[in-house]
Structure 1
Amino acid sequence: MPSPLIEEESQLLAMPEDAYMNEAQLDFFRRRLLAEQADLEVALEETRRTIVDSRGVGDEADLAANEETLRLLLRQADRETRLLRKVAGTLKRLDEGDYGFCEETGAPIGLRRLLLRPTATLCLEAKQRQEQREHHYAKRRSA
Protein backbone atom coordinates (compact mmCIF):
# COMPACT_ATOMS: atom_id res chain seq x y z
CA MET A 1 0.00 0.00 0.00
CA PRO A 2 1.59 3.32 -1.06
CA SER A 3 2.16 5.99 1.54
CA PRO A 4 -0.24 8.96 1.64
CA LEU A 5 2.57 11.28 0.49
CA ILE A 6 3.38 9.15 -2.57
CA GLU A 7 -0.31 8.88 -3.34
CA GLU A 8 -0.76 12.66 -3.08
CA GLU A 9 2.30 13.26 -5.31
CA SER A 10 0.84 10.85 -7.89
CA GLN A 11 -2.45 12.76 -7.83
CA LEU A 12 -0.59 16.04 -8.43
CA LEU A 13 1.37 14.58 -11.32
CA ALA A 14 -1.84 13.20 -12.87
CA MET A 15 -3.35 16.70 -13.08
CA PRO A 16 -3.48 18.31 -16.52
CA GLU A 17 -0.76 20.81 -17.45
CA ASP A 18 -3.23 23.69 -17.56
CA ALA A 19 -3.94 23.08 -13.84
CA TYR A 20 -0.32 24.00 -12.98
CA MET A 21 -0.05 25.66 -9.57
CA ASN A 22 -3.74 25.27 -8.79
CA GLU A 23 -4.97 25.43 -5.19
CA ALA A 24 -4.35 21.73 -4.50
CA GLN A 25 -0.76 21.96 -5.72
CA LEU A 26 -0.09 25.20 -3.84
CA ASP A 27 -1.59 23.71 -0.67
CA PHE A 28 0.57 20.58 -1.03
CA PHE A 29 3.78 22.57 -1.40
CA ARG A 30 2.85 24.97 1.41
CA ARG A 31 2.32 22.02 3.79
CA ARG A 32 5.54 20.39 2.63
CA LEU A 33 7.56 23.60 3.04
CA LEU A 34 6.06 24.33 6.47
CA ALA A 35 6.91 20.79 7.61
CA GLU A 36 10.47 21.19 6.29
CA GLN A 37 10.73 24.55 8.07
CA ALA A 38 9.59 23.02 11.36
CA ASP A 39 12.04 20.10 10.99
CA LEU A 40 14.90 22.49 10.23
CA GLU A 41 14.08 24.67 13.24
CA VAL A 42 14.16 21.63 15.53
CA ALA A 43 17.42 20.37 13.99
CA LEU A 44 19.03 23.80 14.22
CA GLU A 45 18.03 24.17 17.87
CA GLU A 46 19.50 20.74 18.63
CA THR A 47 22.71 21.63 16.80
CA ARG A 48 22.98 24.92 18.69
CA ARG A 49 22.38 23.17 22.00
CA THR A 50 25.08 20.62 21.18
CA ILE A 51 27.51 23.42 20.29
CA VAL A 52 26.84 25.20 23.59
CA ASP A 53 27.15 21.96 25.57
CA SER A 54 30.45 20.93 23.96
CA ARG A 55 33.02 22.14 26.42
CA GLY A 56 36.69 21.47 25.84
CA VAL A 57 38.04 19.33 28.67
CA GLY A 58 40.61 16.55 28.65
CA ASP A 59 44.01 15.92 27.16
CA GLU A 60 45.25 17.22 23.81
CA ALA A 61 43.69 14.37 21.84
CA ASP A 62 40.30 14.98 23.48
CA LEU A 63 40.54 18.71 22.82
CA ALA A 64 41.49 18.13 19.17
CA ALA A 65 38.61 15.71 18.66
CA ASN A 66 36.24 18.14 20.37
CA GLU A 67 37.48 20.99 18.16
CA GLU A 68 36.87 18.94 15.01
CA THR A 69 33.39 18.00 16.21
CA LEU A 70 32.66 21.65 16.96
CA ARG A 71 33.87 22.67 13.48
CA LEU A 72 31.53 20.11 11.88
CA LEU A 73 28.61 21.24 14.06
CA LEU A 74 29.19 24.86 13.05
CA ARG A 75 29.17 23.89 9.36
CA GLN A 76 25.96 21.92 9.92
CA ALA A 77 24.34 24.88 11.69
CA ASP A 78 25.38 27.16 8.82
CA ARG A 79 23.83 24.80 6.24
CA GLU A 80 20.63 24.49 8.27
CA THR A 81 20.41 28.27 8.68
CA ARG A 82 20.89 28.88 4.94
CA LEU A 83 18.28 26.24 4.06
CA LEU A 84 15.86 27.72 6.61
CA ARG A 85 16.25 31.13 4.93
CA LYS A 86 15.68 29.52 1.54
CA VAL A 87 12.50 27.80 2.76
CA ALA A 88 11.24 31.10 4.24
CA GLY A 89 11.93 32.83 0.91
CA THR A 90 10.11 30.08 -0.94
CA LEU A 91 7.08 30.43 1.34
CA LYS A 92 7.11 34.16 0.61
CA ARG A 93 7.15 33.45 -3.15
CA LEU A 94 4.22 31.08 -2.60
CA ASP A 95 2.28 33.81 -0.74
CA GLU A 96 3.03 36.32 -3.50
CA GLY A 97 1.86 33.98 -6.26
CA ASP A 98 5.31 33.51 -7.82
CA TYR A 99 5.90 29.94 -6.62
CA GLY A 100 6.53 27.34 -9.28
CA PHE A 101 7.74 29.78 -11.91
CA CYS A 102 11.34 30.42 -12.95
CA GLU A 103 12.84 33.63 -11.57
CA GLU A 104 14.87 34.06 -14.76
CA THR A 105 12.43 33.14 -17.54
CA GLY A 106 8.98 33.11 -15.92
CA ALA A 107 8.41 29.61 -17.32
CA PRO A 108 6.92 26.87 -15.12
CA ILE A 109 9.58 25.06 -13.10
CA GLY A 110 7.59 21.83 -13.31
CA LEU A 111 6.00 19.58 -10.70
CA ARG A 112 8.61 16.83 -10.96
CA ARG A 113 11.44 19.28 -10.26
CA LEU A 114 9.52 20.90 -7.39
CA LEU A 115 8.74 17.52 -5.86
CA LEU A 116 12.47 16.78 -5.83
CA ARG A 117 13.49 20.28 -4.72
CA PRO A 118 10.55 22.32 -3.42
CA THR A 119 12.79 25.39 -2.95
CA ALA A 120 13.82 25.50 -6.64
CA THR A 121 13.62 28.98 -8.15
CA LEU A 122 14.90 28.19 -11.64
CA CYS A 123 13.53 25.95 -14.36
CA LEU A 124 15.83 23.16 -15.47
CA GLU A 125 17.14 25.03 -18.53
CA ALA A 126 17.95 28.18 -16.51
CA LYS A 127 19.63 26.09 -13.80
CA GLN A 128 21.77 24.34 -16.41
CA ARG A 129 22.82 27.71 -17.86
CA GLN A 130 23.69 28.95 -14.36
CA GLU A 131 25.82 25.87 -13.67
CA GLN A 132 27.60 26.23 -17.03
CA ARG A 133 28.42 29.87 -16.23
CA GLU A 134 29.69 28.90 -12.77
CA HIS A 135 31.80 26.11 -14.26
CA HIS A 136 33.17 28.48 -16.92
CA TYR A 137 34.12 31.15 -14.35
CA ALA A 138 35.65 28.55 -12.03
CA LYS A 139 37.82 27.25 -14.90
CA ARG A 140 38.94 30.78 -15.79
CA ARG A 141 39.91 31.54 -12.17
CA SER A 142 41.93 28.36 -11.81
CA ALA A 143 43.76 28.85 -15.12
Structure 2
Amino acid sequence: METKEPLAKFHANINVKGQLVIPKKDREVLGLERDDVVEIIVRTIEREDSRLRILGSAYVVVKLSSRGLITIPEEIRKALNITPNTVLEVLVIGFHKFNELITEKGKTVLTQLNSRPFRIITPDEEEKLLKKSTAYYSYSISES
Protein backbone atom coordinates (compact mmCIF):
# COMPACT_ATOMS: atom_id res chain seq x y z
CA MET A 1 0.00 0.00 0.00
CA GLU A 2 1.38 3.38 -1.06
CA THR A 3 1.00 6.35 1.26
CA LYS A 4 1.04 9.83 -0.24
CA GLU A 5 2.31 12.71 1.82
CA PRO A 6 2.14 16.44 1.09
CA LEU A 7 5.42 18.17 0.23
CA ALA A 8 5.02 20.20 3.42
CA LYS A 9 2.44 20.54 6.17
CA PHE A 10 2.31 23.36 8.70
CA HIS A 11 -0.02 25.47 10.82
CA ALA A 12 -0.23 29.23 10.41
CA ASN A 13 -2.27 32.22 11.51
CA ILE A 14 -3.90 34.28 8.81
CA ASN A 15 -3.51 38.06 9.04
CA VAL A 16 -6.04 40.83 8.37
CA LYS A 17 -5.09 40.91 4.67
CA GLY A 18 -5.80 37.20 4.30
CA GLN A 19 -2.10 36.32 4.15
CA LEU A 20 -0.02 33.67 5.80
CA VAL A 21 3.64 32.71 5.58
CA ILE A 22 5.06 29.46 4.25
CA PRO A 23 7.83 28.78 6.78
CA LYS A 24 11.35 29.63 5.64
CA LYS A 25 12.65 26.09 6.21
CA ASP A 26 9.89 24.63 4.02
CA ARG A 27 10.66 27.20 1.29
CA GLU A 28 14.35 26.35 1.47
CA VAL A 29 13.78 22.58 1.32
CA LEU A 30 11.47 22.91 -1.69
CA GLY A 31 13.56 25.63 -3.37
CA LEU A 32 10.63 28.05 -3.43
CA GLU A 33 11.29 31.64 -4.38
CA ARG A 34 9.31 34.82 -4.92
CA ASP A 35 6.82 34.55 -7.84
CA ASP A 36 6.78 30.73 -7.82
CA VAL A 37 3.28 29.26 -7.99
CA VAL A 38 2.27 27.03 -5.10
CA GLU A 39 -0.63 24.56 -4.95
CA ILE A 40 -1.99 24.15 -1.44
CA ILE A 41 -4.86 22.66 0.49
CA VAL A 42 -6.03 24.97 3.25
CA ARG A 43 -7.95 23.44 6.14
CA THR A 44 -9.88 25.11 8.90
CA ILE A 45 -9.51 23.02 12.02
CA GLU A 46 -10.56 22.82 15.63
CA ARG A 47 -9.10 20.93 18.51
CA GLU A 48 -11.37 18.28 19.92
CA ASP A 49 -9.89 16.66 23.03
CA SER A 50 -6.45 15.49 21.87
CA ARG A 51 -7.38 15.37 18.17
CA LEU A 52 -7.74 17.90 15.39
CA ARG A 53 -11.00 17.97 13.46
CA ILE A 54 -11.14 19.34 9.92
CA LEU A 55 -14.04 21.77 9.58
CA GLY A 56 -13.52 22.63 5.90
CA SER A 57 -10.89 22.62 3.21
CA ALA A 58 -10.09 24.30 -0.10
CA TYR A 59 -7.66 23.80 -2.96
CA VAL A 60 -5.85 27.04 -3.80
CA VAL A 61 -3.22 27.99 -6.38
CA VAL A 62 -1.29 31.07 -5.24
CA LYS A 63 1.76 33.10 -6.15
CA LEU A 64 4.49 33.30 -3.55
CA SER A 65 5.42 36.86 -2.67
CA SER A 66 8.24 38.30 -0.62
CA ARG A 67 9.22 36.57 2.64
CA GLY A 68 7.06 33.56 1.79
CA LEU A 69 3.72 35.37 1.98
CA ILE A 70 0.72 33.93 0.19
CA THR A 71 -2.79 35.35 0.07
CA ILE A 72 -5.84 33.18 0.53
CA PRO A 73 -8.56 34.46 -1.85
CA GLU A 74 -11.43 36.33 -0.21
CA GLU A 75 -14.01 33.88 -1.61
CA ILE A 76 -12.24 31.02 0.19
CA ARG A 77 -11.96 33.01 3.41
CA LYS A 78 -15.70 33.75 3.33
CA ALA A 79 -16.72 30.20 2.41
CA LEU A 80 -14.61 28.67 5.21
CA ASN A 81 -15.34 31.47 7.71
CA ILE A 82 -11.65 32.35 8.00
CA THR A 83 -11.02 35.52 9.99
CA PRO A 84 -7.81 37.22 11.14
CA ASN A 85 -5.84 35.03 13.56
CA THR A 86 -7.65 31.88 12.47
CA VAL A 87 -5.22 28.99 12.71
CA LEU A 88 -5.10 27.08 9.45
CA GLU A 89 -3.55 23.78 8.53
CA VAL A 90 -1.76 24.14 5.20
CA LEU A 91 -0.61 21.30 2.96
CA VAL A 92 1.74 22.14 0.11
CA ILE A 93 0.87 19.63 -2.60
CA GLY A 94 2.66 21.09 -5.61
CA PHE A 95 4.68 23.99 -6.91
CA HIS A 96 5.83 25.43 -10.20
CA LYS A 97 8.95 27.49 -10.70
CA PHE A 98 8.20 30.91 -12.16
CA ASN A 99 11.04 30.59 -14.67
CA GLU A 100 9.54 27.39 -16.05
CA LEU A 101 6.05 28.84 -16.47
CA ILE A 102 6.71 31.93 -18.49
CA THR A 103 8.47 32.97 -21.68
CA GLU A 104 11.29 35.50 -21.71
CA LYS A 105 8.93 38.18 -23.05
CA GLY A 106 6.45 37.35 -20.29
CA LYS A 107 9.17 37.67 -17.65
CA THR A 108 10.11 41.09 -19.04
CA VAL A 109 6.50 42.30 -18.97
CA LEU A 110 5.92 40.99 -15.44
CA THR A 111 9.16 42.58 -14.25
CA GLN A 112 7.94 45.89 -15.66
CA LEU A 113 4.58 45.46 -13.94
CA ASN A 114 6.22 44.69 -10.60
CA SER A 115 8.63 47.61 -10.80
CA ARG A 116 7.47 50.71 -12.60
CA PRO A 117 4.87 49.96 -15.28
CA PHE A 118 4.82 53.53 -16.54
CA ARG A 119 7.13 56.31 -17.66
CA ILE A 120 6.90 59.53 -19.62
CA ILE A 121 8.16 59.04 -23.17
CA THR A 122 9.28 61.27 -26.00
CA PRO A 123 7.73 61.16 -29.48
CA ASP A 124 10.81 59.23 -30.70
CA GLU A 125 10.42 56.64 -27.93
CA GLU A 126 6.73 56.31 -28.78
CA GLU A 127 7.58 55.66 -32.41
CA LYS A 128 10.14 53.00 -31.44
CA LEU A 129 7.65 51.30 -29.12
CA LEU A 130 4.97 51.27 -31.82
CA LYS A 131 7.39 49.85 -34.39
CA LYS A 132 8.35 46.91 -32.19
CA SER A 133 4.81 46.32 -30.94
CA THR A 134 3.00 43.25 -32.20
CA ALA A 135 -0.34 44.23 -30.71
CA TYR A 136 -1.61 47.14 -32.75
CA TYR A 137 -4.00 47.83 -35.56
CA SER A 138 -3.98 50.22 -38.44
CA TYR A 139 -6.84 52.28 -39.64
CA SER A 140 -7.65 54.84 -42.24
CA ILE A 141 -9.97 57.77 -42.08
CA SER A 142 -12.54 57.87 -44.84
CA GLU A 143 -14.19 61.08 -45.79
CA SER A 144 -17.95 61.02 -46.07
> Under TM normalisation by the shorter chain, which class is it?
under 0.3
* Structure 1 or 2: more helix by fraction: 1
Larger Rg: 2
- TM-score (ref. length: structure 1): 0.21
- TM-score (ref. length: structure 2): 0.21
